[in-house]
Structure 1
Amino acid sequence: MTVFTPHPPLRLDDPGLSEAFLRLVGDGDEFGAVEVVTALHDDGVPAQRIMMELIGPTQSRVGELWAANEWTIAREHAATATAERALAALAARTQVRPARGRITVACVDGEWHALPVRILAEMLRLDGWRVDFLGPSVPGPHLVTHLHQTGPDAVALSCMISTRLPRAHAAITACRSAGIPVIAGGRGFGPGGRYAQILGADAWAAGAEEAVSRLASSWPPPPRDPQVHAYLGDDEYTHVVRHRPELLTNGMKALLAAYPAMASYDDRQMDSTLEDMGHVVDFLAAALYLTEPTIFTEFVDWTASVLKARNVPSPALRVGLQVVRDQLTDYPRALATLHAGLSHL
């Protein structure tokens, strides 16, 4: 276990501190991680700065270490739980009486990356909002029920992975139909939040600090017709979603025939391959839903880098894209999107 003894005064700009905190969460050392954030707070560092300059960036590093295959998924989960414990300890030290209004903060259905949005919830609470933090993966109907029960002034929705955008769209449309404006956040909404606007969100923020500022200075936004962005998707999107099981089953058979090395895979490797094929289909569906091929090509770029870090031969991804493409020859937009992905390889 990492031993870290804080020596006041601690400084957030000390690179040794950030590395020490990363080691603590990586070791699952809740006591040490809590000790660091509370020592900083005792030294007069505002809680907002500790969240934004230490806890948040450390979590980003945790994700990078997993993607680079330096940390296992189990270690990444343990580190996240440790960071959440440190955040909770810091939040327990700060009390601000609500004065601005009430806001619901949640991850869209299927989105499980909750720590960034939990930081947002605490930042909003410190800015005087009464916050209902609903946590990860909130089903749309449950979210709407909560809104009718509580009547908040705003909803903050987080989406970190683009495959969840169709569900994000359903949630945004339902919120706005209930008369409650939505501010969206998370990298799943694309560069500069471009997909948030397509999906009808009233605003988008690049991070917690920008969200707090927007909600404090330019809220509520002017009302708009909630039905303007209510309908997306087409026959191609519907076909891919409805036939996902067949696409995967047929794709795995074709992949085995086209990539003989799979014959030596064990059960774990076969499960991982099926999961990767599922991601191909899901990101394709999201790209078709918004008519945004970039969603798919960025996924291909990222997946190629992750597979390389895990020593998966580079032809494997290309063959995977090809076996999905060969099942969609009657769907021109799907074919064009898959060809764009292949060109990135």
Structure 2
Amino acid sequence: MPATHGDPAQLVQSWTWSVAGQLHLRRTKIAERVAQRLLAETPALTRKAGEATQYYVERDVGWLLEHLSQAIALTDPILFHDHIAWAKSMMTARGLKRADLKRTLELIAEVLDEDLSPAVYASAITLIEDAIQRLDTRTEEPAGRLSQPGLHVETARAYTNALVAGDGAAARKLIRDKVAAGTRLPDILLHVIEPAQVEIGRLWQVNRIDVGQEHFATSVSQELMTELTGSLAPNGETGTLVAACVEGELHDTGLRVVNTLLQMGGWNSHYLGANTPKAAIHQAVRRVQPDVLALSVTTPYLAWRLADVIAELRADPQTAGVKVLVGGYPFHVSPSLAKWIGADGTARNAEDAVLLAGDFARV
């Protein structure tokens, strides 16, 4: 794969013909073949999950292939290794066998060896073999942020417990009472709602809550953020922002927090939200001419879409100069990813994002 540092357009172009591109384009057929072989070998999986087993195995193998192709495209193995660690933790918490994940990776290697050229296969097998070795390490439950001391951590724990219990009324009352008692809104966002949502995600990962509880918690938190910031009247004196999650990304809570904090600081925001098509982002930047474009992605294998968006913006004289701030989980795992996709910067948390956006606006 040719070097692509500093040239996001070249990175996106390489996606169509590189090893990563081949894996991406063939992932559906590869996943189908892997699933068929795995289920033929282990009929107990079908007995456990029923008729939908084939669908779920194909889906999960597709995710593995997407993370593998992303790691190859960006020459960053940690993206794939992190997904394997997540998958192992998630499967272990649900009583599934680590051996099933190991065999899945072995079957992926077999199918890739049959389906791809030797040169292409060689680019993938090193990552797969390394992942298989990592499966033999002890599985540790990921630590929760709320188990550590911190500002308003007791409130965050109580808020999380109310959400997990399905008691939206108690969760809303807790936040409203804190605001009425004088707790600063930025503190509510940064030290209660945001860490609570991170904990909700962790609880789903370790099988303490189901997806319905996770969706309920997110809905309540987003509703509260809208309520608490509904009276804001940003003057735009600090800067103008366009904020969006790329197409396919449905998790926008983190971006909402950053957007709200910037609005509180006087920014005029054009918030596009989750799952925003590339063309819509481009059109918004053309129309608004913002000081900063904030882009977010939580799912690592969608990170290439950020590169695609940025490349298109840079190729258009009307949008080429916009400062692009990126954030989300993949950039926590691999901070260097921001440079590879052509962004101007990334931040590890919402507070840092606000500071960096301010620096961009003053340039």
TM-score computed with the length of structure 1 as normaliser: 0.57
**Structure 1 match to 2:167:** 29
Report SS of the residue matched to 2:280.
helix
Query: Structure 1: how far apart are the matches of 2:308 and 2:153?
Result: 42
Distance 1:39 1:210 in 2: 28
Query: What amino acid maps onto 1:80 in structure 2?
Result: T
Report the CA distance between 1:93 and its aligned residue. 4.8
Q: 1:52 to 1:151 in 2, by over 3 A?
A: same
- Report what 2:276 is aligned to: 138
**Is residue 331 of structure 2 the alignment partner of residue 189 of structure 1?**
yes
- Structure 1 191/220 Cα, relative in aligned 2: closer, same or farther at 3 Å? farther
- Find 1:76's aligned residue among 210, 214, 237: 214
Matched, 1:206 2:348: yes
**For 1:251-262, what aligned pairs fall within 5 Å after superposition?**
none
Q: 1:171 to 1:201 in 2, by over 3 A?
A: same
TM-score (norm 2): 0.55
Work out whether residues 244 and 272 of structure 2, in 8 Å CA contact, stay in contact via their aligned partners in 1: yes
Instruction: State the superposition RMSD in angstroms.
Output: 1.9
Matches within 5 A, 1:203-282: 203-219=345-361
The reply on whether 1:116 has 2:248 as its aligned counterpart is no
User: Is the 1:175–1:182 Cα contact (8 Å) retained in structure 2?
Assistant: no
Amino acid of the structure 2 residue aligned with 1:165: A
Q: Relative to structure 1, is the Cα distance of residues 198 and 80 closer, same or farther in structure 2, using a 3 angstrom cutoff?
A: same
Judged with a 3 Å threshold, the aligned counterparts in structure 2 of structure 1 residues 126 and 176 are, in CA distance, closer, same or farther, namely: farther
Q: Which residue is equivalent to 1:47? A: 185
Letter in 2 for 1:91: T
**SS in structure 2 of the partner of residue 99 of structure 1:** coil
Q: Please list, as runs of the form range in 1=range in 2, the aligned pairs for 1:287-302 lying within 5 A after superposition.
A: none
Check the 8 A contact 2:347/2:353 in 1, yes or no.
Answer: yes
SS in 1 for 2:248: coil
Matches of 2:267 and 2:152 in 1, distance apart?
32
The answer for the alignment partner of 1:332 in structure 2 is: none
Instruction: Identify the residue that residue 160 of structure 1 maps to in structure 2.
Output: 298
Higher relative contact order (CA 8 A, sep 6+): 2
Q: 8 Å contact 1:154–1:182 — kept in the other structure?
A: yes
Aligned residue in 1 for 2:142: none
- Report % sequence identity: 25
Contact 1:158 1:184 in 2 (8 A): yes
Note the 1:285-324 alignment, pairs <5 A: none
Q: Which of 235, 238, 245 lines up with 1:107 in the alignment?
A: 245
Contact 1:33 1:86 in 2 (8 A): no
Matched residue, 2:264: 126
Shift of 1:97: 2.8
Query: Which 5+ residue runs of structure 1 have no aligned equivalent?
Result: 1-11, 222-345
Quote the Cα distance in structure 2 between the aligned partners of 1:190 and 1:61: 16
Offset of residue 189 of structure 1: 2.8
- Match of 2:356, as an amino acid? R
Alpha-carbon offset, residue 17 of structure 1: 2.4
Q: SS of the counterpart of 1:193?
A: coil
- 1:329-340 superposed matches below 5 A: none
2-side partners of 1:54 and 1:91: how far apart?
15
Report deviation, 1:125: 0.3
Question: Matched residues in 1 for 2:300 and 2:164: separation?
Answer: 27
- Name the counterpart of 1:226: none
Q: Give the conservation status (yes or no) of the 8 Å contact 1:107–1:158.
A: yes
Asked if 1:59 corresponds to 2:197, the answer is yes
* 1:34–1:85 contact (8 Å) kept in structure 2: no
Residue type of the partner of 2:210?
T
How far has the Cα of 1:36 moved from its partner? 1.7
Q: Shift in Å at residue 28 of structure 1? A: 3.6
Are the counterparts in 2 of residues 111 and 161 from structure 1 also a CA contact under 8 Å?
Answer: yes
Q: Distance in 2 between matches of 1:190 and 1:23?
A: 26
Once residues 14 and 100 of structure 1 are traced to their aligned partners in structure 2, the CA distance between those partners, rounded to angstroms, is: 28
Q: Describe the shift of the 1:40–1:167 C-alpha distance in structure 2 as closer, same or farther (beyond 3 A).
A: same
* 1-structure distance, mates of 2:297, 2:152: 31
Quick check: 2:239–2:361 contact (8 Å CA) kept in 1? no
Shift of 1:45: 1.5
Task: Determine helix, strand or coil for the equivalent of 1:173.
Answer: helix
CA apart distance, 1:175: 2.6
Q: Distance in 2 between matches of 1:93 and 1:36?
A: 20
Once the 2 structures are TM-superposed, how far is the Cα of residue 96 of structure 1 from its aligned partner?
Answer: 4.0
* Cα distance in structure 2, aligned partners of 1:31 and 1:49: 21
